[in-house]
Structure 1
Amino acid sequence: MYKNYTLLIFVLVIICSCGEELVVKKSSAKAIVKFSFSQFNPIIEATIDETTKRITTTLPSTADITKLSPTIIVSPGSKVSPVSDKEQDFSKEVAYTVTAEDGTEVTYKVTVRRERSGAKDILAFSFTDFSPIIVAKIDPTTKAITATLPSTADLTKLKPTISISDKAFVTPVSGNVIDFSKPVNFMVTAEDGSSQSYVVTLVKEAPPVQAVTIKSGNNPSTNVVYVIGSSTLYALNASTGKEIWNYDNDGRILFANSTIYDGNIVLVSKGVKFINASTGVLNGEIQETSHSYSSPVIVNNVLYYGTGESGLLKAFDLKTKKEKWATSVVYWADASPTVYKGNVFIAVKNGSCFNAYDAETGVLKWKTNTINGNMSGFINACTFENLVITSGSYSFKAFDINTGAIKWKFGECNGTTSSPTESEGIIYFGDDNSNFYALDATNGSLKWKYKTGAILDSSPIVDQDFVYIYGKDSFVYAFNKKTGELQWKYQIGSPSDYSYAYVESSPVVFEGVLYIIGRGSKTYALNAKTGEKIWEFNKTFYQTFASPFIIDKNGKVYHSGVSGMTN
């Protein structure tokens, strides 16, 4: 009987249990486990701080953070709002709420930053006020921007339209009126604060000009040495020193060296004159507004010269008798140009810079401000392979002809106005501390040097085994060009002659004879091997800046080392 009651109670309990619902406990898990941006490659995964409930990440500078669709993984059973893969604007903080199964919630704050861009390029530079629009050329390596404008353009009032890298800004700003009569610096600043400078240089097309009338001249029938004293050009018999003819330059001092073209002496003073080499008669003239020290250089029938105070470097086509181009060098254009491999190089007096222009167009290719001190108006550069080599007041450097990069420098010299001369890979020049140097043209290393007794401000000339230079102690020095051993020296004039005459002249050698204008402003012919005097021309000059040059009976010209021309 007892067993039956126990069984009945058990059955009743089972029946009652089956009538109740089974209660399961709901999860309270509500975390963002992963927050990523799959539209980037590689996928960018944000950092989740569970303590502060903050999610942060930094995206590339090019990302548009106003339109991002994050992929979100949350705790199992929980939900997130806004939902995963829904586009959001993350330019400001975005809140994401995660709701657990049990209904509890937690909010995460998401902050998305974009890397600050370092892009700082000028992408386009144009002048839209012209028809057609003028688009400047941008050199991405040198950061030089150049353009040629019509001859009628007013360079002092131009509005450039400038396109730059995204998120960057430029000063001066695009659309402002700017004076481009001189090169203008434009500074582009990136979003990250870094910056770089561009230099904009504009030139004008040469205005239409009438052809200049220049008659052909005649080469001399004998060997002639031409010397310039004060304002007069003299033609002397090279063998005897006897005067053949002279030409007076209207009393204007002649500072520049000369050359010859089509039987005419090309003489630069206030403009360019063409003097018949045989008779001394004026055969034509290019007129300029200012006086110049710049020696003329002729390459491929084009005459290159500087105009002095007016600050122009010019190219004149001697075939068409018309100006080819003119470009401003900003400061005085007194130095003499050097033309080499399609480039025109010129030192800029008072600008402490050295510029390279395209020989065909006159467009600035590069410039360097790494010359110490003012450039002398009498200095010419020399060239070797892909180098252009020049000296400033306290520097001597070799530049890459294509980029202007410094390839080597020589710092031992103590100031120089001596133009360098290159021969067989050796550079020769003097300095203001009485030293005469020979350097390896490839690397600037010293081959030899010689201490003389005076400042060496003339330019060397090399002939056969000798190199010659004239010092302010009135001595002509002759050295063995390979060893630097002094072969001979000869005094012409004296330092005291400076009391009545100022002389800046360099020697030239022709057929074993050295020609030089001495401190007494007299012209001497010396035996180039021994230094013995052959003759002297006793005309005394008050001032002499130019060097002698020779035209032989076949019309070939022989220049001094400062001429800028190749013998």
Structure 2
Amino acid sequence: NVIPSNLVASISYSESATISPSENLEQDFNQVVRYTVTAENGLEKTYTVIVNQYNEETGNSDPGSMELLDSSFEGREVVIDWTDAEDSDDIIYKVFKNSIEMGEYSISEARVPFTYNQVEKFEIYAIDKKGGNSKLEFDLETPKSELIFIKNFSGVLMCIDTKVQDILWVKGTRDRFYASAIVNNQVLYGDENNLVGLNLLDGSEQGYVYERKNEYFPTEFLYDDNSLYVKDYVGMYSFDINTREIIWSNLRSRSDVPSAIGNDLIFTTSSLDYTLHALDKVTGEIVWEFSPLYGKFAGRPLVVENDLIIAYSNGTIYSVSQETGEMNWEIIGGSGPRSFIQHGSNVIVIENDSFFALDITTGDEIWRESTLGYIVGSPFLHNGKLLVGKDGNGSGKFYAIDPNNGAIIWERQ
């Protein structure tokens, strides 16, 4: 009788190749055994060996075939369900992921840990007590990570994976920092002289995206399609993201006020005459200008459908046509709008000590909240809530606001 627990395999392979584990070592073939053969050029191939024990008196047949029924991702595990392998004997199932045994199961369902952002190879063996077996193979594409990039005032960039709630990587200090766009699956990271692209998943540098062209520090980076738009105190420039060559420059559009990108136009401001310029994205030429009477701009313009919402430092808010620059409406007064958030047919205006919602089409006020005090950070929408931070001289609060009416849903110290 053959004892599967201490067999030595007889394997033929090229003299220039290597095998692991050695074919001269005894193996327990009651288990699935794998041999990896590495060719002279470094290519590897793994072979799976299963020993079937045949009983001459009773005979034996392999278990029936299996099919994958369902797979679902729950937390950090994938739940796999497959059809039973029909057999007259009791069956155990062995599940392998990427050639590593993940467990032994008595039913045709398994929970297996997975890694995000991968295509993982699964093998399931149905083995009866006499050694008969059948095999199911399939690949599963795992979910993509959801990343948040956080910077501090020292220029340190941190990448957090919200799926696993853990820090993926931290990038070192730079004097000034920009992370205004995701470019070709990279996050922008730079100082006053250079801008580099970082790999999203490990933070490794992928090469320069921009190198400073004059003695002035850049004040803003914008990205669209294959073009990078850089703004400094001389003007605005368009660069080819692949060749890093200048496509065009516009020396009238210079300021430290943020810009916005529409379908065909870039909306930017000038500190020379406090004028809003609509630039052609392809040529950099000025298509139209908007020059109100109330001083300089404040905050980034908001592109909404066919219009543009802009604010000035004295609190005046305008809606103008993206195509022509003609004014739709204006709201005068306030404590100085600094940012906008679109919510459905409304625009939420964030001021220093209040926030309120306006109808995008008419400019009519829908609701207003002015009881929280000085607002810090950048409020944002998440899961149907407006999240707002409030300064409290060391004991500030964090609020969840209903964006439909401005009511406080909850608050945290």
> What is the TM-score with the length of structure 2 in the denominator?
0.58
1:403 aligns with 2:324: yes
Q: 1:328 to 1:461 in 2, by over 3 A?
A: same
Tell whether the 8 Å contact from 1:350 to 1:375 is kept in structure 2 after alignment.
no
Q: Within 1, Cα distance between the matches of 2:258 and 2:181?
A: 12
Counterpart in the other structure of 2:302: 382
Residue 449 of structure 1 and its aligned partner are, at CA, apart by: 0.5
Q: Mean alpha-carbon deviation: is it higher for 227-236 or for 237-246?
A: 237-246
Residue 482 of structure 1: which of 396, 400, 404 is its match? 404
Residue 324 of structure 1 and its aligned partner are, at CA, apart by: 2.1
Q: Supply the AA of the counterpart residue of 1:234.
A: M
Q: How does 1:360-439 map to 2 (within 5 A)?
A: 360-370=282-292, 372-376=294-298, 379-394=299-314, 395-417=316-338, 419-432=339-352, 434-439=353-358
Residue 304 of structure 1 and its aligned partner are, at CA, apart by: 2.4
Q: Within 1, Cα distance between the matches of 2:354 and 2:305?
A: 26
Q: 1:450 to 1:373 in 2, by over 3 A?
A: same
Q: Supply the AA of the counterpart residue of 1:291.
A: F
Residue 344 of structure 1 and its aligned partner are, at CA, apart by: 0.2
1:301 aligns with 2:226: yes
Residue 335 of structure 1 and its aligned partner are, at CA, apart by: 2.9
Counterpart in the other structure of 2:361: 442
* Higher-RCO chain (CA-CA 8 Å, sequence separation at least 6): 1
Describe the SS at the equivalent of 1:272: strand
Spell out, residue by residue over 1:283-328, the C-alpha distance to the aligned partner (whole angstroms, 9 max, x if none): 222111433342x33322222232x33x322222224543322212
Q: Supply the AA of the counterpart residue of 1:275.
A: L
Residue 471 of structure 1 and its aligned partner are, at CA, apart by: 3.2
Give 1 or 2 for the bigger CA radius of gyration.
Answer: 1
Residue 386 of structure 1 and its aligned partner are, at CA, apart by: 2.1
Residue 340 of structure 1 and its aligned partner are, at CA, apart by: 0.9
Q: 1:351 to 1:453 in 2, by over 3 A?
A: farther
Tell whether the 8 Å contact from 1:312 to 1:326 is kept in structure 2 after alignment.
yes
Q: How does 1:222-371 map to 2 (within 5 A)?
A: 222-229=145-152, 230-239=154-163, 242-249=166-173, 251-254=174-177, 256-270=178-192, 271-285=194-208, 286-288=210-212, 289=214, 290-294=216-220, 296-306=221-231, 308-309=232-233, 311-332=234-255, 334-349=256-271, 351-370=273-292
Q: Supply the AA of the counterpart residue of 2:246.
A: E
Spell out, residue by residue over 1:48-98, the C-alpha distance to the aligned partner (whole angstroms, 9 max, x if none): xxxxxxxxxxxxxxxxxxxxxxxxxxxxxxxxxxxxxxxxxxxxxxxxxxx
Residue 260 of structure 1 and its aligned partner are, at CA, apart by: 1.4
Q: How does 1:93-108 map to 2 (within 5 A)?
A: none
* Percent pairwise identity: 19
Residue 388 of structure 1 and its aligned partner are, at CA, apart by: 0.6
Q: 1:245 to 1:351 in 2, by over 3 A?
A: farther
Residue 275 of structure 1 and its aligned partner are, at CA, apart by: 1.4
Q: Supply the AA of the counterpart residue of 2:292.
A: T
Tell whether the 8 Å contact from 1:233 to 1:246 is kept in structure 2 after alignment.
yes
Give structure 2 stretches of 5+ with no counterpart: 1-116, 119-142
Q: Within 2, Cα distance between the matches of 1:269 and 1:424?
A: 36
Describe the SS at the equivalent of 1:244: strand
Residue 463 of structure 1 and its aligned partner are, at CA, apart by: 3.4
Residue 397 of structure 1 and its aligned partner are, at CA, apart by: 0.9
User: Which of the pair is proportionally richer in strand?
Assistant: 2
Runs of 4+ in 1 over 4 A off after TM superposition: 218-221
Residue 239 of structure 1 and its aligned partner are, at CA, apart by: 4.7
Spell out, residue by residue over 1:511-552, the C-alpha distance to the aligned partner (whole angstroms, 9 max, x if none): xxxxxxxxxxxxxxxxxxxxxxxxxxxxxxxxxxxxxxxxxx
Q: Within 1, Cα distance between the matches of 2:189 and 2:387?
A: 25
Spell out, residue by residue over 1:135-167, the C-alpha distance to the aligned partner (whole angstroms, 9 max, x if none): xxxxxxxxxxxxxxxxxxxxxxxxxxxxxxxxx
> What is the TM-score with the length of structure 1 in the denominator?
0.43
Q: Within 2, Cα distance between the matches of 1:349 and 1:445?
A: 30
Q: How does 1:464-475 map to 2 (within 5 A)?
A: 464-473=383-392, 474-475=396-397
Spell out, residue by residue over 1:383-433, the C-alpha distance to the aligned partner (whole angstroms, 9 max, x if none): 22321111121221111212222211112422122x11112121012213x
Q: 1:478 to 1:305 in 2, by over 3 A?
A: farther
Counterpart in the other structure of 2:371: 452
Q: 1:459 to 1:347 in 2, by over 3 A?
A: farther
Q: Within 1, Cα distance between the matches of 2:301 and 2:240?
A: 23
- Number of equivalenced pairs: 264
